[in-house]
Structure 1
Amino acid sequence: MKYTETRTPPSPGHAEVRIIAHTPEAARAVAQVLRHCFAGAEQRSYPGPDGDTRLHLTVDTATPAGPARSWLAASRSPVGTGAHPDET
């Protein structure tokens, strides 16, 4: 099943995250990790068509916290470098 949604994109510096899990506890655990790493998590939860849980949240990617901040800083390419030859 393909999931298509017509919504306006989040504001610059924010990301919409969709979590689909078998149980509400699993969805909440993933959301908790994201809230630990990024500021501003607006959360909405919905029952899925197959009895699963769908959790949607908005995170502020411009304000990473803790683990995300250090990971994002370490993962940025140095200025002047491009894609690896096998990535083009």
Structure 2
Amino acid sequence: MDLTENEPLPQGGYAEIRIVSDTPEAARAVAEVIRRCFAGAEQRSYPVPGGGTRLHLTVDTETAAGPARTWLATSRQPTGPGPHPEEP
């Protein structure tokens, strides 16, 4: 999508992100990664002519979302059977 002269810029400290994908699930997965780094407002999604999804997300570039975990750490499944028998 091209930025047009008529499109307003976001207020200072914020960025508008547009994600275009063939499925809503893929767009939401990308938005989730972004929200782990930046505080943000609610996302808005729209159908794309010819199929697909366009997701709009506004993020606060001056405020971190909280302690960020790396993609590798969040993608790993827990290992082991659970706590050791001696643990409460």
TM-score of the aligned structures, taking structure 2 as reference length: 0.67
Q: Counterparts of 1:71-86 in structure 2 under 5 Å? A: none
Give 1:8 shift: 1.0
Aligned to 1:35: 35
Q: Is the 8 A contact 2:40 2:57 kept in 1?
A: no
Unaligned runs of 5+ residues in structure 1 are: 68-88
| 13 and 7 in structure 1: CA distance in 2 versus 1, 3 angstrom threshold | same
SS in 2 for 1:42: coil
Q: Runs of 4+ in structure 1 displaced over 6 angstroms?
A: none
Percent identity over paired residues: 62
Separation in structure 2 between the aligned mates of residue 10 and residue 38 of structure 1, nearest angstrom: 15
1:12-61 C-alpha deviation (Å, 9 max, x unpaired): 00000000001000000001111111002331100001201000010000
Please, what is the CA RMSD of the aligned residues?
A: 1.9
| 46 and 38 in structure 1: CA distance in 2 versus 1, 3 angstrom threshold | same
Unaligned runs of 5+ residues in structure 2 are: 69-88
SS in 1 for 2:36: helix
